[in-house]
Amino acid sequence: MSQRRSASAGDRRLVPISLPRLRSSTRVPPLPRFLCLLAALAVLAGLSRAAPAADCAVKAAPSPGGLAAVGDYRPTLQVCSSEDGRRAFAIRTLTVGGERLALLADPEALTTRLERAACWTCRDASEDELAPTRMGRAIAASAGAPGIAHRGFLENAGLVRGAPAGAFVTGDLCPSARPLDRGFFAELETTGPHAPVALSISGLWLERHGADFRWLTDQRDSGRLAILWVNHTFTHPYRRKIPDASNFLLSRRVDPEREILDTERLLIANGETPSLFFRFPGLVSSDPLMQTVRRFHLVTLGADAWLAIGQKPGPGSIVLVHPNGNEPEGLRRFAADVARGAIARPLEPLTAAPQ
């Protein structure tokens, strides 16, 4: 007994078929018998090619080892193709459990996924090859958007508005001693199933809020939320009463590259996939920091409606709140804006924001 794909395009189940038994006593002319063999081999070959595509995707199981579970983590830029015709750009290579993996980006959909490196044929790519793609354009546009230039730092640089008319809801999970404000997510869920939200997560928040993190992934897995994980650095450096030009990632003895890459590693160690988006702590950056983010092939994310400081949302707004327990005023205003229709509908996934 062999198997073939169902002939119906909408039915992808494997259904059994019977192949002819070729016995010497059977009077089958040589040519038809040969064609039967070719047909059987073609079916089996098709199945053998399709199987690796299904087996390539990886969802790493959460590891108690934390960062140590994700080794040999390296930035790269490679153009990759698979046997079933898929194409992607690899932006990171890594090892988990002794197996080589790649963090792959769809250059048009702006989505990412972890897959086994053995499933892909990759070669080094140039920035010129990435540039004409939607991903390349989004990275370049955000890196070239300086926001407000101050003496010694940039404020709110990067992507601040989306192309569609709906709103893009983002929530920052900076390090906090307070629990996650789950009421905000209950409010968000009233907007419809699979409510899109981009959560800018810091490594220290994740390390200290394991139960809240698992609650979020449960909400996602149940279909209530559609979560995109935005990189918000590992330690989110911040010191009170220090000028912005010497604070956040501009603080002394801060390694921006490690802040970015270790956050990605920790997400992967916890069974999740980093996205193509990055948000600076405090929305404070500099030209060199913007180029660091660009070199890692990430889209810098700002906001044009930080609700807690009185900014008003409109069509295409990237809305910013802090559901980490530190900014209840922004969440109160979000609930009021949703109730009176000031948050433009439909809510949009962040991947739809760049043109």
Q: Is the pLDDT of residue 42 over 70?
A: no
Q: What's the gap between Cα 275 and its chain centre?
A: 2
Is the pLDDT reported for residue 133 higher than 60? yes
Residue type, 220: R
Q: What is the pTM of this model?
A: 0.86
What's phi and psi for 14, nearest 5 deg? -85, 130
Spatial separation of the C-alpha atoms in residues 76 and 94, rounded to whole Å:
10
pLDDT digits over 44-91, tens only? Answer: 444 444 345 668 999 878 988 899 999 999 999 999 999 999 999 999
Beta bridge partners of 93: 74, 102
Query: What share of the chain has pLDDT > 90, as a percent?
Result: 81
Query: Which residues does 38 contact at the CB level (< 8 Å), separation at least 6?
Result: none
pLDDT score at 83: 92
- Range with lowest mean pLDDT among 14-28, 216-230, 248-262: 14-28
Mean pLDDT of the chain: 89
pLDDT in tens, 294-352: 999 999 999 999 999 999 999 999 999 999 999 999 999 999 999 999 997 889 999 99
Q: Which long-range contacts (CB under 8 A, 24 or more apart) does 332-337 make?
A: 333/307, 333/308, 334/169, 334/184, 334/187, 334/307, 335/184, 335/187, 337/307, 337/313
Q: Indicate if the pLDDT at residue 11 is higher than 70.
A: no
- CA atoms of 258 and 271, how far apart (whole Å): 20
